[in-house]
Amino acid sequence: MNLFEALRASHDLQRKLCRSLVRVKPGERDTVFIKLKIELEAHAASEERFLYVPLLMTNAGLSASRHALAEHHTIEELCDELSVPDKSTAAWLITARRLSDKVHHHLREEERKFFQLAGKLIADSDKAVLGKRYLKDLVEMRRHYAGAYKSVAVDRSGMLVSAGAAA
Ligand SMILES: [Fe+2]
Ligand SMILES: [Fe+2]
């Protein structure tokens, strides 16, 4: 799996979790939200380290990288806003929809613009190495962020699961 295929696999998971966040019953929002928050945090950290740091080192990649990092920050702030005990309110759902829209916009822009740019700026010989490092770091970061919650864990294959299903 090269760097871009690996990044897109997490994007697909983020889209799936966003869709279910705004559709599930209020009582199920907490677990879906925690999974989404962990995936967003873990992916952003690993993507910043293994895609945007190399891109930031090139003049042609500066502007795109800054834009993407600013969006990661906005997404983090929306997750903070949603991290409240009562997730059953109409106001919570409105913010959840804003998060979902923002995530969808961000992923689309990365896949259509920034990955294409990075594909030209990063040497082919580096793409496989960066992909491997990104994937290893992603699983470590999922474990790192999941450590703060009882309801979600990371299984042997490195995927997020509801706690109790990890064995
Ligand atoms: Fe991103
Ligand atoms: Fe991404």
pLDDT, tens only, 46-64: 999 999 999 999 999 999 9
Alpha carbon of 109 to ligand 1 centroid (Å) = 9
Tally Cβ neighbours within 10 Å of residue 76.
14
Q: Is the pLDDT of residue 164 over 90?
A: no
Torsions phi, psi for 154 (to 5 deg): -115, 130
Alpha carbon of 44 to ligand 1 centroid (Å) = 5
Q: Is the pLDDT of residue 89 over 80?
A: yes
Alpha carbon of 139 to ligand 1 centroid (Å) = 16
153 forms bridges with which residues in the sheet?
161
Alpha carbon of 167 to ligand 1 centroid (Å) = 30
Alpha carbon of 164 to ligand 1 centroid (Å) = 30
In the block, tokens 């923002």 appear at 102
